[in-house]
Amino acid sequence: MELVCPAGTPASLHAAVDAGADVVYCGFRDATNARNFPGLNFSRDELRDAVRYAHKHDVHVYLACNTYPQAGIEYIWQAAIDDAVAIGVDAVILADIGLLRYARDRHPDARLHLSVQASASNEEAIKFYHREFAVRRVVLPRVLSLEEIRYLNHRIPVETEVFAFGGMCVMAEGRCSLSSYATGESPNMNGVCSPAAHVHYEERDDMTVSRLGDFTINIYDQNEKVGYPTLCKGRFRAMNKSGYLFEEPTSLDVTAILPELAEAGVTALKIEGRQRGKAYISQVVSAFRASLDRISQGQLTTRSSLSTLSEGQSDTTGAYRRSWQ
């Protein structure tokens, strides 16, 4: 399986290439990608240098242009595609249908991948994107179980890429307005979820209170391990109970089920975390490189050693195991 790794800065891209990535994906420094965080991402020049460096090491570069263009300023997203193709990236990752049509018409030779933000979670949806826009690979939503993935791979004419490590979206990606409900900024429109500018920490008695916009999303004590102040990973009250209603602070780690994913016909493994530092990139990419190499030599399982990098310092195999639902 191909190892697809994140890079939020040129330094991270170098780290990923050096640690054994097969592919590095990144985005431009604007609202055209789903990690539009302050101080992150690539200028045109930086991407050009990055592609040169990666190609020299036989590593591919994908550009994520996976937010939904706003009405009236679609040209910003279209320019991102044009520039990425001109720079020579190996694939463009898209979610918006208008943009897919643009890319197909304007750059018929470009390799198009369907972003997880398009939330193509079934056979018909994937066939649709393949038929209409000649999409060559689909990044599967994190809501599918291993059996569902295996079933799909037997029935669709495109490659599949699945999330292997990092942040867990418990909601279907690209179909979630929780962040904009609390802050006015959403993954689809702004490329951010629960953005830092709307996060506030407050000390109350001996506890830390994290607030997103006007809403308290968690309260924890001094020693508790935490995750990102993401809305769906907060504590709430319902039915006279309180706690992590949607998901505990945890990260995805598929190390334990790598052989099963390979057997299910998955083409590529995606590591989440363009917002993470190069230390994270080096550690996670090397660990997965080593695991994949061991598996290709016939070893059946491997154990992960990455939990210190995870939210809440804990891991899950998420929806891949049906019991998660």
Partner 1 sequence: MSESHPSFTPFLLISPFVRNAPRALVQKICNHAMATMHTRHKAVFERVTERETFALLIAPTDLDMMFYLKIDPDQPELRPVCHPSEEPVAARISGPLPALLELLQGKSDGDALFFSRTLRIEGRTDLVVALRNALDGEEIDLRTAVSNSFGVASPAARVMLRFAETLYGQVQHDMDRSAHALTASLERRLGGLDKRTTAQAEAMSRIENSLQRNSRRAKPAQTTSPKDDFAFNDHT
Partner 2 sequence: MTKSRLVMGPILFHWDEQRKHDFYAQVADEADIDIVHVGEVVCAKRMPFFDKHLPDVIERLQRAGKEVVLSTLALVMNGRESDQIKEITQMPDLLVEANDISAAGLLAGKPHVIGPYINIYNESTLSYFEDQGAKRISLPWELPMTSIARLCETRKSAEIEIQIFGRMPLAISARCYSARARGLHKDGCRYVCGDHIDGMDVATLDNAPFLAVNGLQTMSSHYVELSDSIEDLQNAGVNAFRLSPHSLDMTCVAQLYRQLLDRQISADELRQNLKNMSLPMAFSDGFLHGMAGAELRNTLGQGAE
For residue 219, give the DSSP letter.
E
Verify binding: residue 233, partner 2, rule CB under 8 A: no
CA–CA separation, 125 and 80 (whole Å): 25
For residue 194, give the DSSP letter.
S
For residue 120, what are its two tokens? 């193509």
Element at 278 (helix H, strand E): helix 278-296
Sequence length of the chain is 325
For residue 112, give the DSSP letter.
E
The binder of partner 1 chosen from 11, 131, 184, 263 (CB under 8 A): 11
Q: Which of 73, 77, 97, 74 is nearest to 32 (CA)?
A: 77
Q: What does the DSSP assignment read for 74-99?
A: HHHHHHHHHHHHHHT-SEEEE--HHH
Which SS3 state, helix, strand or coil, does residue 93 take? strand
Q: Stretches 135-143, 259-267, 270-278, 285-293: which one binds partner 1 (CB under 8 A)?
A: 270-278
The binder of partner 2 chosen from 85, 97, 226, 256 (CB under 8 A): 97
Q: Which does 182 bind (CB under 5 to 8 A by kind): partner 1, partner 2, none?
A: partner 2
Verify binding: residue 228, partner 2, rule CB under 8 A: no
Q: Stretches 16-24, 53-61, 180-188, 314-322: which one binds partner 1 (CB under 8 A)?
A: 314-322
Q: Which of 275, 125, 131, 147 is nearest to 139 (CA)?
A: 125
In sequence order, the 6+-apart residues with CB closer than 8 A to the CB of 293 are: none
Verify binding: residue 260, partner 1, rule CB under 8 A: no
Which SS3 state, helix, strand or coil, does residue 316 take? strand
Q: Which does 267 bind (CB under 5 to 8 A by kind): partner 1, partner 2, none?
A: none
Verify binding: residue 123, partner 2, rule CB under 8 A: yes
**Residues 154-213 close enough to bind partner 1 by CB under 8 A:** 195-197, 199-205, 207-209
Q: Which of 316, 155, 194 is nearest to 247 (CA)?
A: 316
* Total of chain residues touching partner 2, rule CB under 8 A: 70
Verify binding: residue 115, partner 2, rule CB under 8 A: no
For residue 52, what are its two tokens? 């040169």
Of the two residues 101 and 200, which places its CB atom closer to partner 2 in the complex? 101
> In the complex, which residues of this chain contact partner 2 (CB under 8 A)?
68-72, 74, 95-99, 101-102, 118-125, 127-129, 131-132, 143-145, 148, 151, 170-172, 174-178, 180-184, 186, 188-189, 213-219, 232, 235-239, 241-242, 245-247, 319, 322-325
- Known binding residues are 169, 176, 193, 232
Binding residues for partner 1 (CB under 8 A): 8-12, 37-40, 195-197, 199-205, 207-209, 214, 216, 218-229, 235, 237, 240-245, 248-250, 253, 256, 275-280, 283, 308-318, 321, 323-324
